[in-house]
Amino acid sequence: MAAKDDLIAIKGIREGLLLTLTADSSEWGEVTARLSVKLDEKKGFFKGARVALDVGPRPVLPHEMDSLRLLLQKREMTLWAVVSTSATTQSTARNLGLETSLVTAGESLEAPEVRSEEAGEGAVLVSRTLRNGRSVRSSGHVVIIGDVNPGAEVVAGGDVIVWGRLRGIVHAGANGDESAVVCALDLAPTQLRIAGYITVSPDDRRRKPKPEMALVRQGRIVAEAWNG
Amino acid sequence: MDTRGATVPHSGLGKSSRVITITSGKGGVGKTTVTANLAVALTHLGKRVVCIDADIGLRNLDLILGLEKRIVHDLVDVVEGRQPLAKAMIRHKTFPELYLIPAAQTRDKTAVSPVQMIRIANELRPDFDFIIIDCPAGIERGFKNAIAPADEVLIVTNPEVSAVRDADRIIGILETLERRPPAKLIINRVKPEMVRRNEMLSPGDVTDILDVDLIGVVPEDETVLIAGNKGLPDTTSRAGQAFRNIARRLLGEEVPFMNLESSGGWFRRIARLFGGGAAGKAGEG
């Protein structure tokens, strides 16, 4: 019995529930019966859920899919998507007006559920040097692993972090966020802007590179050394 | 940018011939001089070399090589099917293993396409060890034409901020190409005296900014200018020595960098880039 439970996995995803059927030669009737048992164990818990189904390579015929859909409907659950590598299943799903991919909803099946302690924010990561004439623009944060050469440009709605030498033009908080910061291992931009503020680097070519963070403080941009 | 020339495959693989494009972005850094001198140096090493002047409308390579008076047909005549390739090839009298395919002077860059350049290079491959393309300044059509058939790219720059800035742009563009031809750097017209006085970027400063392999440092040398005016590249000068070294490095030899000044400074910094061995030998001459 316990081993048979591995046949069906239920987990929560952003879009609702994901039911995963392990590749198995069990009869469809057996599968639906097991599922019923599993769902009824926590009846109230699944009520009203939107359900996506991953059947792996199993070919599922229209009447089989119908029986499953009915089973879910009885428990006030809605099947909205079926994911499968089987062409038969995909065609079945399409004929029933179901989605065949979760990717459109921005969630990949392989992606593990992220349960971060901190909320965090999205950022664009660029892992190479930005040479003259290249630019990166994002409404979020931008992280660059590499240099930003003179003539290159980084514009971000949020913060800009450069793990390298920052020599080009950089604009953080481009949508007006004055709390945005710019960090670099060597902060020597041609021009640095935060929100509506603008500044240039002092002209001391032979200075020693050091990590710095630029931010707006009392109405002007200041650069602070990072002292670990 | 599309310089892929989708329909014509590069047939470089598996053959010994190499298509090398000399480019810089900025004008006036010495692309044409480098092309001519490098081609001559390669013929001295027993290689068969053909130069293609891709600077249509502003051709110069024929002048530097002293072949201006012998031009009858040009690159555009070949591209437009009026002449077979062999008819546009001019053989150098002094260096019989050196040929030139001159640019047309009365047309512009749009007279040739990247695909046509690839075809021409492929047609030349069986007969030559090196096909050297002199790229026009800029990053537009002429540049795309010259880059399209390249197996390798040599970027010429001068130790000045503007030339280095443009070289960085070129390297950036090359990096975005689907087929990323390997690029190496030639720093041309270095004045050791000025470097020592901190009035000129040192080769170390330049490679620090560009982060690309260095294949040659050419000192400023009046004889190059004089030779260019005479139309006969001179490989015995100090700059000529630098070009011979680049040619040998292209052939895979490990040649230590010339000691352009007597003591220390930037030279040690480039030497370091090439490992301790080069640094040790370099001191000897």
Please give the angle made by the CA atoms of A68, A69 and A72, to the nearest 5 degrees.
90
Lowest mean pLDDT across A71-85, B21-35, B171-185: A71-85
Taking the Cβ of residue A132 and every Cβ of chain B, the question of whether any pair is shorter than 8 Å is answered with yes
**Predicted-complex ipTM score:** 0.74
Indicate which of A130, A132, A135, A166 best probes the interface with B, i.e. most B CBs within 10 Å of its own CB.
A132
Instruction: Cite the DSSP H helix spans in A58-153.
Output: 62-74, 87-95
Mean pLDDT of A171-200: 96
Give the Å distances, CA to CA, from B172 to A151, B58, B105, B127, B165.
11, 25, 30, 33, 11
CB B103 within 8 A of CB B57: yes
Q: Touching check for A212 and chain B: CB below 8 Å?
A: no
Q: Do A151 and B211 touch (CB under 8 A)?
A: no
pLDDT at A8 over 80: yes
CA separation for the pair B159, B200 (Å, rounded): 6
Of A128, A132, A147, the CB nearest to B165: A132
Q: Which DSSP symbol is given to A22?
A: P
CB contact residues (below 8 A), chain B span 44-103, against chain A: none
pLDDT tier, B264 (very low <50, low <70, confident <90, very high otherwise): very low
Q: A130 CA to chain B: closest CA distance, Å?
A: 8
B172 CB neighbours in chain A (<8 A) are 130-134, 149, 152
pLDDT at A103 (0 to 100)? 60
pLDDT at B27 > cutoff 80 = yes
pLDDT, tens only, A131-156: 999 999 999 999 999 999 999 999 99
Residues 6+ apart with CB under 8 A from B264: none
pLDDT tens digits for B137-162?
999 999 999 999 999 999 999 999 99
Residue contact A131–B171, C-beta within 8 A: yes
Give the gap in angstroms from C-alpha A203 to the nearest C-alpha of chain B.
15
Q: What is the least distance, in Å, from the CA of A154 to any CA of chain B?
A: 15
Q: Name every chain A residue with its beta carbon within 8 A of the beta carbon of B166.
A: 132
Model pTM? 0.69
Quote the tokens at residue A167: 């020599």
Mutate to test the interface with A, among B161, B168, B211 (most CBs of A within 10 A): B168
Q: CB–CB of A151 and B165 under 8 A?
A: yes
| C-alpha pair distances (Å), B85 with each of A39, A60, A131, B33 | 78, 64, 38, 24
DSSP state, residue B126: G
Cα gap B124→B120, rounded to integer Å? 6
Q: What is the mean pLDDT of residues B181-193?
A: 95
Q: How many other CB atoms are there within 10 angstroms of residue A143's CB atom? A: 18
pLDDT score, position B172? 94
List of chain A residues whose C-beta atoms are within 8 Å of the C-beta of residue B175:
128, 131
Torsion sign, CA atoms A37, A43, A47, A51: negative
